[in-house]
Amino acid sequence: MMIDRRTLIRNGGAAAAGALGVTALTPAVGVAATDPTDPTSGVTRTLLQRHPSPAEGWETVQTLVEIPRGKESGWHSHPGVEVGYIARGDVLMEFDDGHALRLRTGDPFFIPSGAIHNARNVGRETTMMLSTYVVDETKPLVTTYENENRPAKPHP
C-alpha cells in the first residue's frame, strides 16, 4: 500500500496506522496534555513515509517520534532494524539486557531487529527522534511490553 505524504499530513497519519499495525501514530502538531501518572502519555509517532524495500517481504518506514519532557516511549521492539537520529533533546535509550546509551541532539543510533528497548526523555525539552525502520511487512511496526511481561534475557 502506497501512502501519499500530503494525505498523511492532512489526516495526521491515521490513514496509515492500521496498515502499519501501530495504534500510536498521531499527529505531531497540537500535542495534547500529558497524564502525569502515565509515563508514556503524550508520546507521538508521526508517519513520514513508507515504501517497499528492495528485499521482497520487507518495507522501509520512517517516523518522527516526539517524547515530552519526563516521559518515555515504553518498552517495545520492532520486526527489523531501527536506524535513528536525535533531532532535538536528550534521551536515555535503555535495553532489556541492562545496557543503556545516553543520546543527545545530533547523535545517531542503531537498534537491532527484535531488541526490546525504551527511550526515556532525560532532557529539558520535548525530544524529537527521526527513526527509519526496515521491517518485515507482515508484522506490526511496534510490539509493546509491560515491564512485568518483558521476556527475560540472560546477562553475559
Give the CATH number, domain containing residue 45. Answer: 2.60.120.10
What pTM did the predictor assign? 0.73
109: in domain = yes
13: in domain = no
In tens, the pLDDT along 70-113 reads 999 999 999 999 999 999 999 999 999 999 999 999 999 999 99
Q: Number of folded domains in the chain?
A: 1
Average pLDDT, the chain: 81
pLDDT for 39 = 85
pLDDT for 40 = 86
What is the domain extent for residue 74?
Answer: 41-141
17: in domain = no
Asked if residue 122 lies in contact with residue 73, where contact means CB atoms within 8 angstroms, the answer is: no
User: Which triple of cell numbers denotes residue 112?
Assistant: 537491532
22: in domain = no
152: in domain = no
- Give the Cα separation of 9 and 138 in Å (integer): 25
147 has pLDDT over 90 = no
In tens, the pLDDT along 105-122 reads 999 999 999 999 999 999
